[in-house]
Each structure stands twice: as C-alpha cells, then as structure tokens.
Amino acid sequence: MQRNSTKRASLASIAAEAGVSVSTVSRIVNGQLDRANRETVERVQALIESSGYRPNSVGQALRKRESRVVAMLAPNLDNPAMGAIATSTEAALRAAGYVMILCDTHDEPDLQDEYLDAMRAQFVQGYVLVSTVASPGLAAFLARGEPAVLVGRRQPGTLQPGHPQAPFVGIDNAAAGADAADFLLESGIAEPALLHAKLTSTAVADRVAGFLNRLAERGVEPALVRRATASSLQHLELGYQAAKALVADGGWPKGLLCVSDLMAYGAYRLASETGVAIPQDCLIVGVDDSPLNRWIAPWLSSVHIPYESFGAAIVGQLQALWGGDTPADRLLPHQLVNRLKA
C-alpha cells in the first residue's frame, strides 16, 4: 500500500490498517506482547516499522510518571552568580540527555512552594534547588525524599527525625569567611568591618561565622568588629544601604568584607559618592569572584567560587539519587583572588 509520507502515522491509523483496537497497538508499542497472538503482534510491528511511527515521549512520561526534564528553582536570576549556576547546570544536563526548566523564586517562600507543586505536577525527573528559603512546602517536599539537590545553601530549618537529608553542592562557606579574614589581616587591616544580609541564609551565616571566628583566633575580639546590614532583596542596594549605616556609625573602615560581590559593588558606589578611594582608603573583599570583576571591578579581591564546575557535580548527585544511592555532599574548592598584586 502506498503511504502519504507527509502524514504522520498514529496509533489510530496503525490500528485501522491492522484491523485491531488502538489499545492493542498501544500495548505492543510498549512491549506488552503477551496479550495478542503472534500473527497480530508481527503484523502490527511490521506496520510500525514501515510507517516510521515513533512513540510520544511526553505521553509515555506522563504514564510512567517520569521524564527527561529536570527543574531548577533559583532566586533572583539577575544575580550573576545565579546565572552562572544555571548556565553550568543546563549544559551538564543537556550533555547527559536532559532538558532543564528554570524558575525564579525571587527568594519568596510562597512562590517557591508554588513552583515545587507545579513542577511535581509535571512529573519532572529531578530538582535542583538553588539557595532555598524555609517554607512549609519545601519541608514537606524534602521529607518525602524527592530526588533533589540543594545548591549554594544547605537545607533550611530543622530536620525531623527519620527525614532524609538532601545532598548538597557548594563550597565551605565558613572556610571562605576565614580566608577573607586572613587576607584582610595580612594586608595590614587591624580592625576589618563586615557587611552582610540578614542571617536567614545558611551560606551567609556560615561566611559571617567563619570570618568572625578567624578574627577571634587571631586576636580580634568579634564583639568589637563593626558590622552592618540592611533589608533589601537586591544585594546591590543592600550593600549600598548597609555601607551607609556602617559609615554613619563610625566612618569608613580601613578594610571591609562584603559577603557577595554585588554587595561590594553597592559599597563601592557609596565610596565613589563620598570621595573615598578604593582600595587605597578602604580595602574591600567580596565573595563570588564574578566574571564581571575583571571588567568593572579591578579593585575587588574576592573569594572565587567555581560555578563553572557546579553543573557536573549537580548532575552527578542527581544520577546517584536516581540510582538509589545516598550521595555525600560535594564541596568544591574555593580560592581568594588577590587583585592587588602587581
């Protein structure tokens, strides 16, 4: 029989030509060969082959409650760090044969929970949860043991007994804070100051604790360390406003840790407006080492976080979860980049 090559074969068209029901064809397509006689199976298989029919992968995924899709939830995608993680992860997933859906939670618990519910309804294969915030939906989601990897921030809140701990990909944030303290002290800054967001994030809390603990180890009393924060979603504005509060309460320090590069940019804006030369009058250290720094912030020494390597580590964690394993946390190496060197 001559076929119209431009018309896509379907289960219905194959069933009509074979003289069987659509459900019979569907079972044979899906490998269930024991519910039809041999002659029928061979006839249907021959028609499938000659027609070039291909199963609907979306439909199969819905039936099996699985897919080749992975959802990433991340806050504030205008932050270069978030964009770098997303780019790295998407490339690694694509190389492994997966497609990534990207959702911006804007650091809002309700929106985070809304996206978790929406992605679960789509039967995605796994979840990459970047910088999560505590929320009822997240707690329930993680308690169910969904195949999820936490990135950047560890699991917020307190685990209930018997609940699994989701694997983590990131850096040792406490060690990064300690490295920043060492750098400032070794640069001759006897009393460095600190700007940070509110301590609702495990990453920020660990960086602050690592910084203060190292200062204490080296003889600088943490209670005497000048520090300021501000309430703002955007770290640029947060850095600017926190620097304003710090300066109003004692003037510019000789050295300053900002717990993200964006906060450091905000502090630099205030310094420019008030005639303070950076780094001559105030040595600023950031965290992230954004690729933008070599273009717009040659004055900023920063803790380099290898976001370009996150994707492979994240996919490795997901594959371990899919295989039934409980992977250990992956801490990637960080390094303080000194841009004051000649």
For domain 67-171+308-333, give the fold. Rossmann fold (3.40.50)
Q: How far apart are CA 209 and CA 233, in angstroms?
A: 22
* pLDDT classification of 67: cutoffs 50, 70, 90: confident
Give Cα separations from 162 to 76, 155, 311, 339 (angstroms): 32, 15, 29, 47
Lowest mean pLDDT among 28-32, 167-171, 206-210, 248-252: 28-32
Give the model confidence (pLDDT) of 100-145 as tens digits.
Answer: 999 999 989 999 999 999 998 888 999 999 999 999 999 999 988 8
Share of the chain above pLDDT 90, in %: 64
* pLDDT (0 to 100) of residue 162: 55
Query: How are strands ordered across the β-sheet holding 148-151?
Result: 99-104, 69-74, 126-130, 148-151, 168-170, 330-331
Residue 86 has pLDDT above 90, yes or no: yes
- CATH of 173-304, picked from 3.40.109.10, 3.30.70.20, 3.40.50.2300, 3.40.50.720, is 3.40.50.2300
Give the model confidence (pLDDT) of 263-275 as tens digits.
Answer: 999 999 999 999 9
User: Contact at 8 Å (CB) between 156 and 138?
Assistant: yes
Backbone phi, then psi, for 126, in 5-degree steps? -165, 175
The greatest distance separating any two alpha carbons of the chain, rounded to the nearest whole angstrom, comes to: 90
* pLDDT classification of 182: cutoffs 50, 70, 90: very high
* pLDDT (0 to 100) of residue 1: 40
Closest CA to 91 of 116, 60, 66, 70: 70
Report the SS3 class of residue 59: helix
Mean residue pLDDT across the chain: 88
Lowest mean pLDDT among 37-46, 52-61, 207-216: 52-61
The single residue listed with the structure tokens 């990897």 is 149
Tell me the CA end-to-end span of the chain in Å, nearest whole number: 79
Task: Cite the residue boundaries of each domain of the chain with CATH code 1.10.260.40.
Answer: 11-55
Q: Which CATH architecture has domain 11-55?
A: Orthogonal Bundle (1.10)
Angle at the Cα of 130 from the Cα atoms of 301 and 71, rounded to 5 degrees? 140
User: Contact at 8 Å (CB) between 263 and 195?
Assistant: yes
Going by C-beta distance under 8 Å and a sequence separation of 6 or more, which residues neighbour residue 245? 228, 229, 230
Task: Cite the residue boundaries of each domain of the chain with CATH code 3.40.50.2300.
Answer: 67-171+308-333, 173-304
